Amino acid sequence: MLNIAITIAAVLMCLSLMLNLWRLFKGPSRPDRILALDTMYINSIALIILFGIFSRTTLYFEAALLIAMLGFVSTAAMCKYILRGDLIE
């Protein structure tokens, strides 16, 4: 039962990752693209957690944690860049 749920979830996540990449290609504006990247971070977290549940291990949890934390910093930095140009003022 769990495996079926994981498979379905993984397929959906892959689908959304591909759609994210499509948005990234298409744009058209910079915020669109940054948003696409940020969503990719979120979806990768989901993939890693799914993989952890599937493998019955907690070993990958920290990777997900780091993506969550650092992905935010990356997105914030890019937004700051298009808002002000200068990251650290």
Partner 1 sequence: MNLLWVVLLPLIGTLVPLFTERFGRNICAFCVALLPAWSLILVLMYAPDIFNGQAIRQTIEWIPAIGLEVSFRLDGLSLLFLLLILGIGLLVILYARYYLSLKDSMSRFYVYLMLFMAAMVGIVTSNNLIQLWMFWELTSISSFLLISFWSHKSEARKGARMALTVTGAGGLALLAGLLLIGRIVGSYDLDTVLASSDIIHAHAAYPVALILVLLGAFTKSAQFPFHFWLPHAMAAPTPVSAYLHSATMVKAGIFLMARFYPVLAGTDLWFIIVSLTGLTTLLLGAYIALFKHDLKGLLAYSTISHLGLITLLLGLNSPLAAVAAIFHIINHATFKASLFMAAGIIDHESGSRDMRQLNGLWQYMPYTATLAIVAALAMAGVPLLNGFLSKEMFFAETLNQSVLGSLSWTIPLLAVIGAAFSVAYSLRFIHDVFFNGQPVDLPKTPQEPPRYVRIPVEILVALCLLVGIFPAFVVGDLLHIASFAVLDHTVPVHNLAIWHGLNLPLLMSFMAMVGGVILYYNRRHLFEFQSHFDTTDAKHIFERTIQSLVKAAESITNTLENGSLQRYVFTLLLCTLVMGGLPLIELTQNSGTRASIPLDGVTIVCALLMIFSAVATVIWHRRRFLALIFLSVVGLIVSLTFAKFSAPDLALTQLSVEIVTIILLLLALFFLPQSSLKESSNRRLSVDLLVAGLIGCVIGTLCYAMLTTPLNTMSDFFIANSKTGGGGTNVVNVILVDFRGFDTLGEIIVLGIAALGIFKLIANMRIAIPARDDKGRAWSNDPHPMMLEVVSQSLLPLALLVSAYIFLRGHNMPGGGFIAGLITSVAIIQQYIAHGVQWIKPRVTIDYQWIIASGILIATATGLGSWLFGQAFLSTWFDYFSLPWIGKFELASAMLFDLGVYLTVVGAVMLILANLGKLTTSERLDIQENN
Rounded distance between C-alpha atoms, residue 54 and residue 52, angstroms:
5
Rounded distance between C-alpha atoms, residue 28 and residue 57, angstroms:
40
Q: How many chain residues interact with partner 1 (CB under 8 A)?
A: 45
Torsion from C-alpha of 78, 59, 57, 69, nearest 10 degrees: -20
Q: Which of 19, 37, 46, 53 binds partner 1 (CB under 8 A)?
A: 37
Q: Which two tokens stand for residue 37?
A: 């990247």
Beta-carbon neighbour count of residue 32 at 10 Å?
Answer: 13
Asked if 39 is part of the footprint of partner 1 (rule: CB under 8 A), the reply reads: no
Q: What is the C-alpha R_g of the chain?
A: 15
Mask 45-84, x = binds partner 1 (CB under 8 A)?
A: --xx--x-------xx-xx-xxx-xxxxxx-xxx-xxxxx
Asked if 5 is part of the footprint of partner 1 (rule: CB under 8 A), the reply reads: no
Binding site for partner 1 (CB under 8 A): 10-11, 13-14, 17-18, 21, 24-25, 30, 33-34, 37, 40-41, 44, 47-48, 51, 59-60, 62-63, 65-67, 69-74, 76-78, 80-89
